[in-house]
Structure 1
Amino acid sequence: MSHWINIRGNLYDLSIPRVMGIINVTPDSFYEGSRYSDVDDLMRAVEKMVSEGADIIDIGAFSSRPGAALVSESEEKNRLTRALEVIRKHFPKIILSVDTCRASIAEWVVLQYGVDIINDISGGRADEKMYATIARLQVPYIIMHMRGTPADMQQYANYRNVTQEVIYELSECLYHARYAGINDIIIDPGFGFAKTLEQNYELLANLETFRVMGLPLLIGISRKSMVYKLLNIQPEQALNGTTAAHMVALMKGAAILRVHDVWAAKEAIKIFEAIRNAKSLNQR
Structure 2
Amino acid sequence: MFRNINNPLIMGILNVTPDSFSDGGKYSALDAAIQQVELMLSEGVDIIDIGGESTRPGSDSVAASEQIERVVPVIEAIRQQLESNILISIDTTLSAVAKAALDAGANIINDVSGGRADPAILTLAAETGVPIILMHSQGTPKTMQDNPHYDNVVRNVLDTLNQSINAALKAGVKKEAIAIDPGIGFGKRKQDNLDLLAHLDALVATGFTVLLGTSRKRFMGTICDVSDPSDLVTATAVTTALGVMAGVQMFRVHDVKENRQAADVAWAIKQSRSQLST
For residues 154-173 of structure 1, the aligned pairs below 5 Å read: 154-155=145-146, 157-173=148-164
Flag as ranges the 4+ runs of structure 1 deviating above 3 A.
none
Residue 104 (1) aligns with residue 86 (2): no
Question: In structure 2, what residue type is equivalent to 1:99?
Answer: D
State the secondary structure of the residue aligned to 1:154: coil
For residues 193-208 of structure 1, the aligned pairs below 5 Å read: 193-208=186-201
Q: How far did 1:170 drift?
A: 0.3
Q: How far did 1:156 drift?
A: 5.8
- Give the counterpart of 1:30 among 11, 21, 34: 21
TM-score by length of 2: 0.95
- Give the counterpart of 1:254 among 245, 248, 253: 248
CA distance in 1, matches of 2:159, 2:205: 11
1:154-181 superposed Cα distances (whole Å, 9 cap, x missing partner): 2362101000000000001101101111
State the secondary structure of the residue aligned to 1:240: helix
CA distance in 1, matches of 2:216, 2:25: 10
Hey, what does 2:238 align to over in structure 1? 244
1:33-59 superposed Cα distances (whole Å, 9 cap, x missing partner): 783012221111100101111010000
The answer as to whether partners of 1:107 and 1:137 remain within 8 angstroms in 2 is: no
Unaligned ranges ≥5, structure 1: 6-11
Unaligned ranges ≥5, structure 2: none
State the secondary structure of the residue aligned to 1:213: coil
Report % sequence identity: 38
CA distance in 2, matches of 1:281, 1:213: 24
CA distance in 1, matches of 2:154, 2:240: 18
The answer as to whether partners of 1:219 and 1:256 remain within 8 angstroms in 2 is: yes
1:200-236 superposed Cα distances (whole Å, 9 cap, x missing partner): 0010001101123210000000111121222111101
TM-score by length of 1: 0.93
Name the Cα RMSD after superposition.
1.4
State the secondary structure of the residue aligned to 1:217: strand
CA distance in 2, matches of 1:266, 1:202: 24
CA distance in 2, matches of 1:283, 1:126: 45
Residue 93 (1) aligns with residue 85 (2): yes
Hey, what does 1:9 align to over in structure 2? none
